[in-house]
Structure 1
Amino acid sequence: MDALLSALGMDKVAVGFSNLSMFPLFDMAHYIISVMALREQPGAIEISRRSPIACWFSAMIYCFGGAIVSSVLLGEPPVEVFSNNINILMASAAWYLLFYCPNDMFFNICAIHLFRVLLAGMKEVTRTWKVLSGVTLAYKQYKRLCIALITIGWAKGAGTGLMSNFEQLVRGVWKPETNELLKMSYATKVTLLGAVLFSLQTTGYLPIAQHNLMFMYTIFLVVTKVTMMMTGSTVSPFACVESVLCRVILGLKSGDAEEKNSKSATKDISNGTCPASNGNIKAEPEETCAPSASSPDTEESNDSNKSSNKKDD
């Protein structure tokens, strides 16, 4: 791969790209996109009016979640993340302007589609630096322990998603079903992929120069993100690969769970059992599972029986 990039004359470009500084433009783009994601969460506007401190703390988790999680995993104090005053001020400025700017002027400007695509592309560039930073920090302590390198790199690049439940608690929301590990988003998946690649490269199992891997991985991130935003697609680019791997390795097919549930529900109904009981409790007469009103013919027959009984008496 290195020879291919050298033949294309991209080797020097990759070296220059790897020396690119994220401060201040790319970092600011990351803060803006992160706080915009928070602002678009249900109830975030109300929280910003009712409790600005909680809203600010949630914004800091969105901006520095990866650094917080990786610090915990490395045994470092999480509060050290807030030691960089300039980055905290930049993130706080983005939070204030997006939530409290008069007439939502700053938010409306950032929400312009083309401008937001540009900011999202710049944010994806910072993802590469975060993943590589996490892998490098883990390598200093754990050397060739690949699982540790992958975990720290993944946490550094996608920590905000991984600690989303804690961030929701700050806003007074508890939704355990939204756990990122239960249903991973595209950002979490692509960050995991990057953590694996950089860990293999750092430990020498992937024969490619670091600056070339940074360049190609970033190009993949930016192109994929921009394409998804421009086309409005919500389908993960890894959907086909995941489907194949699930079939080959796990023997699963997409939608197996839903099909199994629907079939079991149909079987319960046909056997005369309540679907809610999962077939363990037999259904009572119609009043239990599906109460129905008595028909007029039934009422007439009952009245005639009562009258005949009176005559007999």
Structure 2
Amino acid sequence: MVMKSPAINPDKQALADLRSQIDQIDGVIHDMLRERSEIVEHVRKYKGKQGIYIRPGREAQMLRALMSRPQGKIPDGLVVRVWRELISAFTIVEGSLKVGVYAPEKGPDLWDVARDHYGSFTPLVEYPTAAAAIKALKDGKISVAVVPPPAQGEKDSWWPLLTADKANALTVFQSMPFEPLKAGRSNARRALPTGLIVGKHYPELTGDDRSFLVMQCTHVPEAEMKRLLGKAGYKVRHMLTHSTGRAASAPTSFLAEVEGFVGRADTRLGRLKAMMGSRLQQLMPLGGYPAPLKGGRRTA
């Protein structure tokens, strides 16, 4: 009696072959992760003993390069999410990192946006106000602070706390999220749409940047301040004012967000000082951030 071999379903066989290919690719990805971790270890040794190993400019250039490649059928948000996890995990390996996050008891916060940005393993600490997060940063209790963008007339105004430090040690150096996503494509719930990251890091030039300038002066209306900034060579995106007193002679602080990178030795700062003369009491670059990814993606 001849035994017949059971019939092989061609669809099942094709599916098994495809799954086998996925397994092989997963193995290659794992091998590459191991190799990447070894290279990171060499980088850590070359850097020596530092406080925190954060390079927001480098991160932005990496992600821009990756997103400029053809994305094929990769789901929206996956590439940036995977690399944010990688960057954050290896940052912790290189050095300690604790993130203070604006998270009031009621109302929108930045907790979920910060968790998306800093990955699953970075320690986060919640603070009820942005000012409390900045104070904790000044006291050395956290490495960086995640705060909401400044708004006119806000009670919890944090940026004047940075200008009080004449050493200009704390600045804005990054924004989040780096890749704005459609609703439902991130973990964010009851979240503010964007946050700024403050720390003892000055941002790096990336080729597509935004910067903050603080000017404290007397007898300078807002329109005049915008005109002077434009004449100095700055393109103003937004401007806020903060009065330091009720008297007519009380100084006014201006916070201007401008296009492009402004370093501490930016030559336009000298131009602005010369034009304002004795009316200017303080001029300070307050850092900035690499501009987020723009919409659209390459599929092929």
TM-score, L = length of structure 1: 0.23
Kindly name which structure, 1 or 2, has the bigger radius of gyration based on alpha carbons: 1
Q: Select the structure that is richer in helix.
A: 1
Is the strand fraction higher in 1 or 2?
Answer: 2
